[in-house]
Structure 1
Amino acid sequence: MKTYQAIGAIETFGLVFVVQAADAMCKAADVDVVGYENTASGYISVIVQGDVAACKSAVEAGVKAVENMGAEVYSSVVIASPHQDLNKIIDRYSLDILLDEE
């Protein structure tokens, strides 16, 4: 089972804002975008993985990017040592799985 040192996530309203957040996250730190999920009525979350410091920097940059566009970040989180069972959730939103279904 593949594990990572940290998981970072940002939730906002609208695809444009979450794409901007993901771009800022990847540019700010050495993280991998795991995937995204349209959670409900336009709320969208983006998930990244990497080491703890990278995820913290990435989430901070993503939040700032969304706020600079005049939008609101509804939630953000960095989980420094995720339990291995979180892979069940993370794998559900993996871009790799979404691309395999096509």
Structure 2
Amino acid sequence: MGFIETFGIVFILEAADAMIKAADVELVGYENVASGYISVLVRGDVSACMAAVEAGVRAVENMGAKVYSSIVIPSPHPDLLKITQIYNIDNLLP
């Protein structure tokens, strides 16, 4: 699983676009965290998620915006489904 958080829908759309173009990942969804902070989530194998997150971060920074956080979780615990199930994606976690 790979995540990026930034401020504003335009920047998160740019990040998501770069992420799914850069690697073989599936766009799972996004979440408006609070007051304009938005996170986007992709899934795929570890190397693809790493490449996708790197591309997404670069895309946001190239637009002059700030990435507030980014992370790749290589082997997510199945209990994370309790948080991510809002996206209604079957088999989100292994």
Whether TM-score is above 0.5 comes out as yes
The two structures have a TM-score, normalised by structure 2, of 0.91
Percent pairwise identity: 70
Please state how far the C-alpha of 1:95 moved relative to its aligned partner: 6.5
Unpaired runs of 5+ residues, structure 2, are 90-94
Specify every segment of 5 or more residues in structure 1 that has no aligned partner in the other structure, as ranges.
Answer: 1-6, 97-102
Which one of the candidate residues 51, 54, 58 is aligned to 2:48?
A: 54
Q: Which one of 36, 39, 50 corresponds to residue 45 of structure 1?
A: 39
1:90 alignment partner AA: T
Paired AA for residue 22 in structure 2: A
> Structure 2 vs 1, CA of residues 58 and 9 (structure 1 numbering), >3 Å: closer, same or farther?
same
Aligned residue pair count: 89
TM-score with structure 1 setting the length: 0.84
**Are residues 1:29 and 2:23 paired?**
yes
Give the aligned CA root-mean-square deviation in angstroms.
Answer: 1.0
- Structure 1's consecutive aligned runs of 4 or more residues displaced over 6 angstroms after TM superposition are none
Picking from 39, 61, 75, the partner of 2:69 is 75
